Amino acid sequence: MEHIETSSVTPTPIFEELDVKKLSNECQQLLQTLPREKLWDGWYLYLYHGFWFRPHLLQGILLFQKHFQAEEDDVFIITVPKSGTTWLKALTFAITNRKDCSLPQSPLLTSNPHQLISNLEMGLYFMKTEFPNLQDLPRPRFHCRILYTCRNPMDRFISLWHFVNLNRPEPLKKDSLEASLEMMCREVEAYGPFWGHVLGYWKLSKERPGKLLFLKYEDLKEDIIHHLKSLAELLGIPFSEEEEREGMMEEIAKPCSLDSLKNREVNVNGKQKFLGLKNSNFFRKGEVGGWVNNVNPSMVEKIENLIEEKLSGSGFSFKMSCNYTKTKLGDNQVST
């Protein structure tokens, strides 16, 4: 991706303490008016337009809201954190560029997917004082379509806890997992409320089936080939019969698998430019149902009640991928 020249301040890594004076006057004034909650990791979240954000991101969000104009060939990848974002970016990039760049020469072999497909509020607009010139972004940008992926709330929750723990200057205490779950039950979490985010896009996908592809992480793990086909169709570049016969989808799926991505040199030793995070921290186990190894019986009860409360009557469900009992989980501890 081409470098975009903008005025900016030196970004503070997202899990380190922020000097608020680095933010614009507009953002500083806004923060003083917003409700805030102290998180289990010690930092504050601010409630803006119904969603919770760290103060680092609000400046980028304000710039985006003021200046971004969607074009007819745009596509947005939208996820809740730790729901398969890195994986979906890799798949999207490989599908889009399959005719221009053979996979043995793909930039995915030497670049992290987040470098190849930019993040708006945490990349192009992150800690900027002026808005970027998006005309420099690679084309095509597609036709104002949305790729959305979600993950079952408990695998995502555990993955997020570990991600935050890896990126903090000081490790979290084990009891912070239960404190984090309590806040999740209260719908106070970064980019949350989670349930409104997922259900909102799920309902929108029913209203705009040709414009929004709603994916579940668990479904991608179960049948990647079927969903690669759906991705390509939404992007307007479907696989031809010849490509299907020659195994193009399998050729894309293997190097874009989580194991392949995780073990590449750039993702073992590389670092994110904007956020100051190690690429390796974006990859963990990627398992479905692994959350059962990290919770105790009281947490299970909270989880069961929460899922029943939030999804009741919606017609939507998650694949938790396990038949668990409270007795089975009685001696489980947090696995770090």
Max avg pLDDT among 69-78, 155-164, 193-202: 193-202
Residue 238, SS3? coil
Could you read off the pLDDT of 141-165 as tens digits, one per residue?
444 788 999 999 988 988 888 887 7
Residue 223 has pLDDT above 60, yes or no: yes
Q: What is the pLDDT of residue 326?
A: 40
Over residues 6-21, the mean pLDDT reads 52
Q: Which residues of 241-263 are buried (b: 16+ CB within 10 A; e: fewer)?
A: eebeeeebbeebbebbbbeebbe
Alpha carbon of residue 231 to chain centroid: 17
**Which residue would you say has higher pLDDT here, 22 or 315?**
315
Token pair, residue 269, equals 């030793």
Contact 43, 17 (CB under 8 A): yes
Task: Determine the Cα–Cα distance for residues 217 and 288; give it in Å rounded to an integer.
Answer: 9
Task: Determine the Cα–Cα distance for residues 218 and 260; give it in Å rounded to an integer.
Answer: 18
Contact 121, 61 (CB under 8 A): yes
Residue 71 has pLDDT above 50, yes or no: yes
Max avg pLDDT among 54-58, 92-96, 289-293, 302-306: 92-96
Q: What is the pLDDT of residue 108?
A: 87
Token pair, residue 235, equals 């992007």
Contact 60, 120 (CB under 8 A): yes
- From the list 117, 113, 109, 102, the residue with the least C-alpha distance to 264 is 109
Q: What is the pLDDT of residue 203?
A: 94
Q: What is the pLDDT of residue 147?
A: 92
Over residues 298-312, the mean pLDDT reads 88
Contact 102, 94 (CB under 8 A): no
Could you read off the pLDDT of 99-115 as tens digits, one per residue?
887 777 788 888 888 88
